[in-house]
Structure formats: structure tokens, C-alpha cells
Amino acid sequence: MDELLTILISRINYWVYIILMMVGMYGIIIKKNLMKKIIGMSILQTSVILFYVSIGAKKNATIPIIEHGHDTGHAAVQATHYINPLPHVLMLTAIVVAVATLGVALALAIKIYKQYNTLEEDELIEILKEKEF
């Protein structure tokens, strides 16, 4: 029991990552409103970013900036003293891409609202079916 608790606490970031990903999936699939779907998509994206940043975290390590690193001649550093910065750099790109997709999705939602005067998915499907016949 004690070991299980230790494992649960030491991996708590990954558990929260799984929960947030499920919440985002639920928002995308179950919710009928287009805005709610977009919010679910954003939560899904941030959960993946949380996973990647958690990979790079280390115990007893500091942020990856070398103090007095420039022009001292001591270029070699101990890698265990610094958090791994590679996932951070990857996720910097992911955040910018997330905002770009959010902007496009909201622009499409506004366009749909202007055309059909609703944001609910079931009402939209009804209107499109009526148009077909």
C-alpha cells in the first residue's frame, strides 16, 4: 500500500495528463456546441504539452540557464544539475501552433454562425438536411 502511494504521488503529473486528455476528448466528442468543442480541443493540446514538460523535469535540478557561462573558459557543465530543455523548446512551437489553430477554428465558428444563425451541432445537421431535399 505504501509503495503504491509512493508511485501514485511520484507520477502525479502523468495521471493528471491522462485525466486532462480524457476531459478534452469528452469535450470534443460529447459536447454539441461548437465553442465547447473548441475549448475541449485546447484542453487536449495543453494536456499533451503538460506530458512533454513533465518528461524534462528532474529532481534537485535548476532551470537550464548557465550562470556566468559566457567567456569563463569553463564550458563543460554537469547535465544532472540542469532540467532537460529540449522538450521545452519543442513545446514552445506547440503553443504557437495551438493558438493558430484556435484562431482558425473561431473564425470558422463565426462564419458558420453568420450563415446558419446557430452554433449547435444538432441544429446545424437539421438545417443541412432540410437544404438537401
Question: Whole-angstrom Cα distance, residue 111 to residue 75?
Answer: 55
Q: Cβ(24)–Cβ(41) under 8 Å?
A: yes
**Using rule CB under 8 A, residue 88 touches other proteins:** yes
**Using rule CB under 8 A, residue 124 touches other proteins:** no
Q: Cβ(58)–Cβ(84) under 8 Å?
A: yes
Question: Whole-angstrom Cα distance, residue 71 to residue 106?
Answer: 48
Residues lying near other proteins in the complex (CB under 8 A) are found at 9, 12-13, 16, 19-20, 23-24, 26-27, 30-33, 35-36, 39-40, 42-43, 46, 49-50, 53-54, 56-57, 59, 61-64, 83, 87-89, 91-92, 95-96, 98-99, 102-103, 106, 109-110, 113, 119-120
